[in-house]
Structure 1
Amino acid sequence: MATRVAQRPPARPTAPAAVSLGVLPRRQLTGIIPALLCIAFATAVTGLNAVRPFTDLVPVVWIVAVALAVGAIASGVRAFQRQGRMDPAIEAVLPHLGAAQPTRALVEPVKWTKGWVGLPARIKIRYASHVVDDDPRFVDQIIAGLTRRLGAEYRVRKHNSRRCVLIVELAPASDPVSREQQRAIEVVKQVIDPTASVSVTSAEDASVSKIEVKHNVGPKMAIAARRSQIEKVVSSMLPGRWRAHWDLEGDKIRFEVRPTMPDMVLHEVEPAAALTHSAYKSFRIPIGPDEDGQIQSWHPAVSPHCLVIGGTGSGKTSFQHTVLTHLTHAHWRVWVLDGKRIEFAGFRDWPNVELVGARVEHQVRMLHAAHELMEERYSQLENGTARLEDFDPLALIIDEYATFKARVQRWYKTVKPKGAPAQAPVLDLLSDLARLARSAKIHILLGLQRPDVEFLGGEMRDNFGARVSFGRLSPQGANMMWDSFAVGVAIPRNKRGRGITLNAESLPVEIQAFYTPDPAKLDSSDKADWDHLAALRPATADYERMMVRDPEPELTDDGEGEEVEPDYFQWSTAEIVEWDPAAASKTQPGTLRPANVTPLDPRERVRFVPDVDDEAPDVDAAADGDGYSESLEGPAVELEVGDLLLVDATLGLWGVVEGVEPDVVDDEYLAIEYRDIDSGEDGLLTVFDNSVISYRRPEAA
């Protein structure tokens, strides 16, 4: 019976292991014998000429003979010294060439650089036919040996594997590496891969601006947390703020200095085309550029409503002005509910701003009118008398809704008729509009001072898919707004218009919102702002300015004929007519008083109580630990994202924790990524995992 012998599959070709061959034979100094022959020739000519004169050129013969002798000796000495320079390199390379014994014949310099000795500029290398020369390490080992022993960089010029010949040459001289470049190379190799290939690019001021890395640790880089930590480590160990672009398939990384975000970017518009349904579906409202210069925008056809949050001086109102001017320039119909009554005063006569509600009565009528328009369009769609493309889009800008709500509740008590609901019906309309208005081409921009669970919880939050926050958030507000206790809580204090929004991947990114000046706050000296507004102003109005006509008081039917002020339902159904300056001047805000207010006659010792401000004072997210618990102490491993960490006890510096991961260099350490609560700058703190630290935890909302 035949026996089957299992054959092992051929192993992967590998370069031969280095074999010690001993030292090369002793060098020989050439040129002496040729020099002696030249002197002997001159001596012989001189002797013969003395016995039998035949020439007068004996001195010339001696000059030539001495010159040749000196040349021969010099050439021999030079060759001897060059051989001395080559021998260490030959001995380093021979073990990889399959040589049976040490010999200089396999490594032959065929060209030298200028100078008395110089460097071999080109070297011809022959190797044995049994050497596996398709292993990349074969050439690398030869190049490394030559570079190490000759003190210069070499590269492959030609490799003829059929003839077993390798020709290498000096690599072109590279630019000198500065101290900053060397530091960058060392940091990247230590953090990522000691064998990585690193190239550094410098800016005009000689600072490092870009680092490109080719590494061999792809599986480690596949972990997102590790990539984030490496980016933080590089940013903390090198000057400036750095970010990384990862090529996981090619095992490449590109680090570059984060660009500086501008402090102000003007809102500019391009000539607007006709507002067709196709244009409506692709229409975007620019919010502002992120740190990459990418313009983040609100796409109403995809995210029908936008929620904007920001305290006083954060840039929220300017952003709403940007939205208004962009919409009107694109032929949109715009209604404005001015919660503070004065923030949109400069845009009341702006083309395509059809209606501005400053008084609470007019604001209530506006929301009822928007709801009626929505119901009317739904009926037309249901009956088949209209299609969605037949409707013009309407943008409803609601500024300071919390203030509006508080005022409505007080006002409703003065106009509530008998048998009416306990709460003003208008307060139930916003949720209906947020849920249903999209299908009627009605879109809402809702402005708030601070996050509120009423607008950021449950269904309402889902309906406001587009969101922007300006200024600092409390950790609770950040969690409601962005599902993170850390996002937006460390926005720089003095950056008006700086905020957070969602990018195309629905990830929070920092932006600098476009700036639009307020016409009501400009004077004659602000020529640049007036010119800017002139460029934003639509040339023609597609929609005429409208106003709410105040209902007339009714007379009682008890025979006394007393006037009764309009009740809630009369205001909610008041007529909306074309703008009439004369009629509007009769009912300016503040000229009417609620029906239940009785004027006081002058009398002594009357103490007036200041009106209660509807708006709660803005609170700094980090001042005195607001939004955070009292200071706690515990091991570093207990830290969580969103905690407020005491980074430097001496200086009293605190930072918002953005990540906690094992250190990439030493597993016994933790790398804590944080953002400085005052400056907003990123930082990295490395501590033992059992180190006791001070921190504050976000309080429950």
Structure 2
Amino acid sequence: MGRGQHDPLKDFLVDLFSSEKTTGQPGKSEKPAVGKYSAMAPLIVIATAFAFYVPRLVELTGQAPESQGAIAAASIHGYLWLLLLATPALIAFDVVRFISHRHRVRLDAHVRQATRHLPVKVTVGFPPGISALRSATIKLPRGAIIRPKEMDEFTSAVRVSVNRRSGKWTHMVTHQAHHDQIVVTRKHVEPDTRSDRHRVLERVLVGGPLKDAAVTVDSYDDDGSETGYKITYSQSMSSGVHGFQSKIDEALTSLAGTHESGRTWATQWFPSEGFLLMMLRAPLPTRVDHPLELVDENLRHLPYATAASDLTMFWDISTKSNKPHCLIVGPTGGGKTSVIRTLLTEAARRGIPFLGVDPKMIELDGLEGYPGCAAIVYDAVRSAMLVRALHCEMMARNHYVHVKKIEPSELPFLITVLDEFFILSGKWQRLAKTGDDETREMLKELDPLGAWADLAVLARSAGIRLLLGVQRPDASLFGGASGNARDNFGTRISLGNLSQDGAMMLWGDSQVGREIDTSVPGRGVALGNDGSPVDAQMWWTPNVDPHPNKWNQLSDSEKAIINGLRPQVEPQIAFYSKELRQFVESERSMATTARERGYAPEPTQLGEDHTDQAVPAAAVDDDVDAIPAHSVTEGMTILVPGEDGTEHEATVFAVTVIRNKDTADVTETTITVGGTGRVKNHVTYGPHEVVFLPEPDEVLESV
């Protein structure tokens, strides 16, 4: 052991049994601050034992009772009870003295080792405390200097050595330099009543990215469970950055876990005041009927859902909106049609007309004839004509703004619904290949996909808003060659669970929208007002079709919703182009004729004569599920065109997708299917072409 090092055990033994302390210099010594311990109890114990046995000693010596020795022994024995009472008291006093001496020896050793000073006097308060020292005063030499580091070492040594068996106390050490002394006191430690969640949050925040972070409980529920925390921190440049806050939010909510009530956590930042609140999200309702009152007084906000904390989600269609168009993604039966009905009925009651395309003929048919509905188109060719007419309307509106020198915000709004867009675009592509000459030439001239891409990018300033419904997201359809159209669909809604790729395409996060409780109808994810996706419960809007077959299926409460939403004054559409006006007029005329002369064959059974039931051409519909060509996988069964123009089922053997090296957009897809014998057929599709399935199939969304 080096000269500068000390052995605490050796020091303790020397202090206990030695009455002198060396100064560290040969031949010199000083009076010790702690003297030698001398017990007094053994003397009284010997005296008590002698008083107890003195009569026996007299008997053994054979002395007569009248002798002086016997009388003296009897006198000593008479003090026996007094000695018996004094013995335990003196033993206890010796024990207290020993404990006090032990504390004094330890303190003396710690002072000498930590500060290199020899204490003048060490005084321990009475009683000294059995498990933890109660108080002590250490007198130092006059003018003694103690450095902060030495004081910290002494404090740590004291807290460890004089409080070994009790966690109820903590010791405070103060250097009173003006009195040349060190004072040690103890303070009761309050029991740790923090919850496990509270302790975890404090532990991870210590030394974390938030400077000087401290966690306090902000609120409790009726059962005493913690429902909110306030986290204070020292302000910095990064604490006001949204990206930094998002990372902290994600870490905190993950560490806090799900609350006992089943709810999750949300944070609210106050960077200018140096704190954030971490509160429980209000539970989402399992059903929200479409409210009859105007929830949002802004007539350019179309509400459609309720998020956590009763937050109303809305589609902002105003001219200044950064999310002018709306995209709804949801599987069949997921509630997509109800959301569309909610948005359109809200638009109608705010005086905004709409028109739509329904290639499946069953989703939007109930809106035909509803106040504010200009037309609902079902035919694929007529849908292409509508898209081109809307393009002409957009150009006419822009020309009107240019000539009249008015603000675009003065133009009236018009909402256009394109439901089941994959099926619609697939029909256009099929007709462009297999239709008659007149149809192919018409679709080539109309170019509906190109017109729709222009609308998605340019229609905002013309007051035209697009509401697009698809069963699965697909990046190639809304980006790349389509003019990055998906970036204009700032309002996005997803129903049901997305795949990892679909979540990344729609929300920019591979985990959002993947754990939706599909047992609750209308549960999904919507783009929040602050630009971040949030879980939401979509409003329920019944089918507004007044036909008895539909109306009689509704409950009284659902009928009350429909009657309460119906506007008293029908919104009127203002036409700026003759193309759209002529199309709507002709479509309404055709719809009236179809309702008057509409025909559908009655169902038959095997063995019945059904030769007299002629099926009109308009009644034949071959709608099937359509998916992008690059989403096809090996082993799937698809419909491929044959040499005679008809389509037949074929099994996919291989899929080759070619992408642009710079943008990663799909440029071409080649699908290999089985032919006759060992011959394989190769079918090539363009970047936005779709293939048809003989029946719905599960595929991954592509990005």
Alignment TM-score, normalising by the size of structure 2: 0.56
C-alpha separation in 2, matches of 1:92 and 1:209: 50
Question: How many Å separate the matches in 2 of 1:584 and 1:605?
Answer: 21
Query: 1:587 aligned to 578, 594, 606, which one?
Result: 594
1:152 aligns with 2:171: no
Partner residue of 1:357? 376
Which of residues 130, 133, 147 in structure 1 aligns to 2:148?
Answer: 133
d(CA) in 1 for partners of 2:304, 2:500:
27
Question: CA 1:604–1:68 in 2, change beyond 3 Å: closer, same or farther?
Answer: closer
Partner residue of 1:22 out of 11, 14, 28: 11
Q: Map Cα deviations across residues 158-185 of structure 1 (whole Å, 9 max, x no partner).
A: 846554545543233314688x679969
The AA in structure 1 aligned to 2:542 is D
Could you tell me which of 323, 335, 340 is aligned with 1:315? Answer: 335
The residue identity in structure 2 corresponding to 1:170 is K
Shift of 1:325: 4.3
RMSD: 6.6
Q: Distance in 1 between matches of 2:103 and 2:134?
A: 12
Show the 5 A alignment for 1:372-411: 372-406=392-426
The answer to whether the Cα contact below 8 Å between 1:474 and 1:489 also exists between their aligned partners in 2 is yes
Is 1:517 aligned to residue 564 of structure 2? no
Distance, in Å, in 2 between the alignment partners of 1:209 and 1:342 is: 46
If you compute each CA radius of gyration, which structure gives the higher value, 1 or 2? 2
User: Distance between the aligned counterparts of 1:205 and 1:626, measured in 2?
Assistant: 55
Residues 145 and 259 (structure 1), Cα distance of their counterparts in 2 relative to 1, 3 Å cut: same
Aligned to 2:477, which of 441, 454, 460? 454
Please, which of 457, 467, 471 is the counterpart of residue 492 of structure 2?
467
Q: CA deviation at 1:338?
A: 3.6
Q: Contact 2:367 / 2:373 at 8 angstroms: preserved in 1?
A: no
Matched residue type, 2:478: F
- Name the SS of the counterpart of 1:430 in structure 2: helix
Shift of 1:434: 0.9
- Structure 1 residues 471, 350: CA separation in 2 closer, same or farther (over 3 Å shift)? same
Any conservation in 2 of the 1:35–1:72 contact (CA below 8 Å)?
Answer: no
Deviations 1:137-172 (A, max 9, x none): 458625642575252254566846554545543233
Instruction: Provide the rounded CA distance (Å) in 1 between the counterparts of 2:268 and 2:398.
Output: 49
Q: What is the 5 A alignment of 1:675-686?
A: none
**Structure with more relative contact order (C-alpha pairs < 8 Å, separation 6 or more):** 1
Name the aligned partner's letter for residue 582 of structure 2.
T
After superposition, the Cα gap between the structure-2 partners of 1:386 and 1:238, relative to the gap in structure 1 and judged at 3 Å, is closer
Q: Deviations over 1:617-637 (max 9, x none)?
A: 99xx9999999x99xxxxxxx
Is the 1:434–1:444 contact (alpha carbons within 8 Å) kept by the matching residues of 2?
yes
Contact 2:503 2:509 in 1 (8 A): yes
Change (3 A) 1:94 1:475: same
Aligned to 1:613: 623
Supply the AA of the counterpart residue of 1:514: M
| Offset, 1:354 | 3.4
Q: Which amino acid aligns with 2:115?
A: G
1:292-691 matches, within 5 Å, as 298-300=315-317, 301-348=321-368, 353-360=372-379, 367=387, 370-406=390-426, 416=438, 420=442, 422=444, 424-452=446-474, 453-458=476-481, 459=483, 460-474=485-499, 477-478=502-503, 480-482=505-507, 488=513, 494=519, 496-502=521-527, 509=533, 511-520=535-544, 526=555, 537=565, 540-541=568-569, 543-544=571-572, 573-576=582-585, 586-588=593-595, 591=598, 602=611, 611-616=621-626
Given residue 454 of structure 1, which amino acid in structure 2 is its aligned partner?
L
Deviation at 1:98, TM superposition (A): 2.3
Compare the two structures and name the one with the higher helix fraction. 2
Cα distance in 2, alignment partners of residues 245 and 395 from structure 1: 36
Shift of 1:271: 3.9
Judge conservation of contact 1:334–1:397 (CA < 8 Å) in 2: yes
Instruction: Classify the secondary structure of the residue corresponding to 2:455.
Output: helix
SS at match of 1:374: helix
* 1:378 Cα deviation from its structure 2 partner: 1.0
Amino acid at match of 1:306: C
Percent identical among aligned pairs is 18
Contact 1:357–1:363 (CA under 8 A) maintained in structure 2: no
- DSSP 3-state at the match of 2:595: coil
Alpha-carbon distance in 1 for matches of 2:162, 2:563: 68
Q: Deviations over 1:3-46 (max 9, x none)?
A: xxxxxxxxxxxxx999858114354557999999xxxxxxxxxx
| CA deviation after TM superposition for structure 1 residue 312, in Å | 1.0
SS at match of 2:148: coil
Partner-residue secondary structure (3-state), 1:152: coil
Give the corresponding residue for 1:98. 115
Give the Å deviation of 1:83.
2.4
Q: Specify the SS of the correspondent of 2:598.
A: coil
Q: Which amino acid aligns with 2:307?
A: P
**How far apart, CA to CA, are the structure 2 residues paired with 1:626 and 1:487?**
28
For residue 700 of structure 1, report the CA deviation from its aligned partner: 8.1
* Residues 86, 445 of structure 1: alpha-carbon distance in 2 compared, 3 angstrom cutoff: farther
Q: Which moved more, 1:154-163 or 1:334-343?
A: 154-163
Aligned to 2:68: none
Partner letter of residue 448 of structure 1?
A: V
Q: Classify 1:313/1:516 alpha carbon distance in 2 versus 1 (closer, same or farther; 3 Å).
A: same
Write the letter of the residue equivalent to 1:309: V
CA deviation digits over 1:599-655, x for unaligned, max 9? xx947999x99853333499xx9999999x99xxxxxxxxxxxxxxxxxxxxxxxxx
Q: Cα distance 1:523–1:422, how it changes in 2: closer, same or farther (>3 A)? A: same
Letter in 1 for 2:11: G
The verdict on how the C-alpha distance between 1:176 and 1:331 changes in structure 2, with shifts beyond 3 A counting, is same
> SS of 2:334's equivalent?
coil
Q: Which amino acid aligns with 2:326?
A: C
Task: Map 1:43-122; keep pairs closer than 5 Å.
Answer: 73=90, 76-77=93-94, 79-80=96-97, 82-83=99-100, 86=103, 90=107, 93-94=110-111, 98=115, 100-101=117-118, 105=122, 108-109=124-125, 119-120=132-133
3-state SS of paired residue (2:190): coil
Match of 2:190 among 173, 183, 186: 173
The equivalent residue for 1:289 is: 307
Distance between the aligned counterparts of 1:523 and 1:289, measured in 2? 32
| Rounded Cα–Cα distance in structure 2 between residues aligned with 1:409 and 1:590 | 30
Kept in 2, the 8 Å contact 1:32–1:72? The answer is: no
**Paired residue type of 1:357:** I
The answer (yes or no) to whether the contact 1:181–1:200 under 8 Å persists in 2 is no
1:403 maps to amino acid: I
